């Protein structure tokens, strides 16, 4: 890494970033978090062969990574920190596309609240809860009995992978309960213990929490500090429980609300790889409308591999979050996603995301196991093209 200019040194000094020679470089806690967050984006890009993108149809983590990449690309100090590590060219690509950020957005991205012109408000002063949260989390220490919590984190990750659990943005002052999981500063956090409630000097109810992190550390946090930290963290999330609610109904009852249709398609493409494995390659998607209308122009759409398709399976859905179900099915078969790149009708490269190398009977079996709730006990064995019971 080349040395910074004197002006750059001064700027970084104001930001609290130490400037050292490459061999002796030591990163601040803030820089370590920035680098760790960027490495997650790099890992995603390597695994999916494309950078994370925005869109309601994208996985929640991809959308988080896309927002994070935008912010890292916009902020000059982040770009300078990460450019030597950016072998995939993620920052330069995003940086050229992004518009200039106004001062208020820049301050917000840096974690500084814009100053409001009012004599009744103190300027540049963080809320007491924010300061206390940062101090208490910084004092996290080794969890001596982490061995009993580690299986819980592994199970939660497995359920996130299959879509049985999802994550949601943590709202300001939202409740937290014993036994719940969260994502805080890039780590999964488990609320293991809650102390007795008390009233603080300001007349507000509070209590002590024991919070365990997936990196083997723990914090003895105040409830309000934990809530403040989750809300303040730009990607702070609540990990939902495993209850997906009703999926299908054998008979439509009065008051049932149709929510769409899950469909399975087979491609008629003449592409050699697809033609040779046509009986194994399927697209699994969701629509709130008519399937036939949805695929009418398939031959002109890259998402359908620029070819006609055959509908081989459909399921009408009632009273459920249909996109959650679609996401769950995609998670189950994520290791069998078709790895192929085609050019769309404008000649631009396109990587489809909803095509999977899975036989139709296995798709049916997976949906049946979702219905009876047993799917979490199984994984897709790509080599043998079947569902196998987890050990």
Q: Which residue has the tokens 């996130």?
A: 160
Query: In angstroms, what CA-CA distances link 278 with 44, 176, 262, 364?
Result: 28, 49, 20, 17
Sequence spans of domains, the chain: 6-109, 128-239, 258-389
Phi, psi of 224 (to 5 degrees): -65, -30
Tokens of 83: 């450019």
Predicted pLDDT at 56: 62
- Which three-class secondary structure state does DSSP give residue 349? strand
Q: Where are the beta strands (DSSP E) in 102-239?
A: 141-142, 167-169, 181-184, 187-194, 198-199, 205-206, 208-213, 217-222, 237-239
Contact call for residues 186 and 29 (beta carbons, < 8 A): no
Parallel, antiparallel or unpaired: strands 258-267 and 309-318: antiparallel
Among 54-58, 108-112, 247-251, 326-330, the range with the most confident prediction by mean pLDDT is 326-330
Q: Mean per-residue pLDDT for 159-188?
A: 81
Taking the C-alpha atoms of residue 46 and residue 78, their distance in angstroms, rounded to an integer, is 21
Q: Mean per-residue pLDDT for 286-294?
A: 84
Q: Where are the beta strands (DSSP E) in the chain?
A: 141-142, 167-169, 181-184, 187-194, 198-199, 205-206, 208-213, 217-222, 237-239, 258-267, 281-287, 309-318, 342-343, 349-350, 355-357, 378-381, 386-389
Mean pLDDT of the chain: 75
| 38-70 confidence digits (pLDDT tens) | 888 888 888 888 888 877 667 777 778 888 888
Contact call for residues 124 and 116 (beta carbons, < 8 A): no
- Which three-class secondary structure state does DSSP give residue 193? strand
Angle at 38 between CA 302 and CA 229, to 5 degrees: 115
Instruction: Give the pLDDT band (50/70/90) at residue 201.
Output: confident
| 336-353 confidence digits (pLDDT tens) | 998 888 888 788 888 888
For residue 20, is pLDDT > 90?
Answer: no
Tokens of 24: 């002796």
**Displacement of CA 298 from its chain's centroid (Å):** 30
| 74-105 confidence digits (pLDDT tens) | 888 888 888 888 887 888 644 333 333 343 44
| 115-163 confidence digits (pLDDT tens) | 344 433 333 344 454 455 555 555 678 899 999 899 889 888 887 776 6
Taking the C-alpha atoms of residue 336 and residue 54, their distance in angstroms, rounded to an integer, is 23
Taking the C-alpha atoms of residue 222 and residue 207, their distance in angstroms, rounded to an integer, is 6
Q: Give bridge partners of residue 184 from the DSSP assignment.
A: 187
Q: Mean per-residue pLDDT for 318-343?
A: 79
């Amino acid at each position: 890494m080349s040395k910074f200019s004197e002006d750059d040194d001064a700027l970084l000094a104001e930001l609290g970033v130490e400037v050292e020679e490459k061999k002796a470089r030591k990163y601040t806690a803030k820089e370590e978090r920035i680098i760790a967050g960027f490495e997650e984006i790099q890992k995603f890009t390597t695994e999916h062969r494309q950078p994370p993108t925005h869109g309601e149809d994208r996985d929640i983590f991809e959308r988080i990574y896309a927002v994070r990449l935008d912010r890292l690309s916009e902020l000059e100090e982040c770009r300078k920190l990460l450019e030597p590590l950016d072998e995939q060219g993620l920052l330069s690509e995003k940086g050229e596309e992004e518009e200039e950020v106004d001062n208020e957005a820049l301050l917000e991205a840096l974690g500084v609240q814009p100053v409001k012109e009012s004599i009744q408000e103190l300027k540049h002063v963080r809320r007491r809860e924010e300061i206390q949260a940062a101090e208490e989390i910084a004092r996290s220490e080794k969890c001596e009995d982490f061995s009993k919590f580690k299986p819980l984190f592994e199970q939660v990750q497995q359920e996130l992978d299959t879509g049985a659990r999802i994550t949601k943005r943590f709202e300001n002052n939202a409740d937290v309960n014993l036994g719940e999981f969260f994502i805080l500063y890039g780590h999964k956090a488990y609320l293991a213990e809650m102390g007795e409630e008390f009233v603080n000097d300001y007349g507000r109810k509070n209590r002590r929490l024991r919070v365990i992190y997936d990196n083997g550390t723990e914090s003895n946090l105040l409830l309000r500090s934990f809530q403040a930290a989750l809300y303040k963290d730009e990607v702070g999330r609540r990990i939902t429980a495993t209850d997906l609610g009703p999926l299908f109904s054998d008979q439509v009852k009065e008051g049932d609300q149709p929510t769409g249709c899950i469909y399975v398609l087979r491609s008629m493409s003449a592409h050699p790889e697809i033609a040779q494995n046509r009986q194994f390659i399927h697209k699994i998607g969701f629509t709130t409308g008519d399937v036939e209308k949805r695929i009418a122009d398939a031959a002109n759409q890259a998402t359908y591999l620029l070819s006609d398709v055959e509908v081989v399976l459909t399921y009408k859905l009632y009273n459920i979050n249909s996109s959650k179900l679609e996401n769950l099915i995609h998670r189950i078969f994520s290791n069998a996603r078709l790895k192929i790149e085609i050019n769309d009708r404008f000649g631009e490269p396109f990587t489809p995301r909803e095509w999977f190398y899975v036989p139709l009977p296995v798709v049916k079996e997976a949906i049946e196991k979702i219905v009876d709730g047993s799917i979490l006990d199984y994984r897709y064995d790509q080599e043998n093209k079947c569902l196998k019971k987890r050990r």
